[in-house]
Amino acid sequence: MTPPSLPTDEAALIAAAQQGDRRAMDRVLRDQQPRIYAICRRIAGNEADALDATQDALLAVVRGLPGFDGRSRFSTWVYRVATNSCLDELRRRRRRPLVGLPEAPDGTPIEIADTGPAVGDTVTDRMVIDGALAELPEEFRAAVVLRDICQLDYAEIADVLDIPPGTVRSRIARGRAHLAAKITGNQTGAR
């Protein structure tokens, strides 16, 4: 016997997942995984932490979905879960020991030559932006990523980060100023 087909609209799919439909839950997770990874990649600043945070966020969606009450848009709720998972991962990362560059027997770092292929301007620009984002303080990075990459409005960002809208505006302005300073080479960006 063929199982009934899954609902096609998001609200019905979410309702089915909340009622314990495993296929619906799987579909919700597959649909949300790229969005969750994208935000985690930008906030974490590196692939390894982004993947860890994505996994944590997907688990949090599974655990939290029965309690999702629809007071906010589902995408806003998912952004909150992903952002919190990523910020938690960054806090865990700070507690981990850092692995440094290889050292010579006398303790001096060994320089590693860059012999990789040349990259195009688009890739280079993206690397510069990712590098500048990675240097932003977490609170600025999260606000800038949610606004400029995820295209959330200020009220949604305030909801995701659980801070007042005025604080959102301030963090975005300071984060953008810091990014602009980093990208243009002026080191007087926001702190």
List, for residues 47-104, the tens digit of each pLDDT value: 888 899 999 999 999 999 999 998 888 999 999 999 999 988 888 877 654 444 445 5
Task: Pick 100 or 30 by higher pLDDT.
Answer: 30
Opening angle at CA 60, ends 68 and 99, nearest 5: 150
DSSP-derived secondary structure letter, 67: G
Q: What is the pTM of this model?
A: 0.68
CATH number belonging to domain 10-101+110-184: 1.10.10.10
Predicted local distance difference test score (pLDDT) of residue 186: 60
DSSP-derived secondary structure letter, 66: G
Does 190 score more than 80 pLDDT? no
Question: What's the pLDDT band for 26 if we cut at 50, 70, 90?
Answer: very high
Distance between CA atoms of residues 58 and 130, nearest Å? 23
Domain ranges for the chain, please list them. Answer: 10-101+110-184
CA 129 distance to own-chain centroid: 15
Question: What's the pLDDT band for 30 if we cut at 50, 70, 90?
Answer: very high
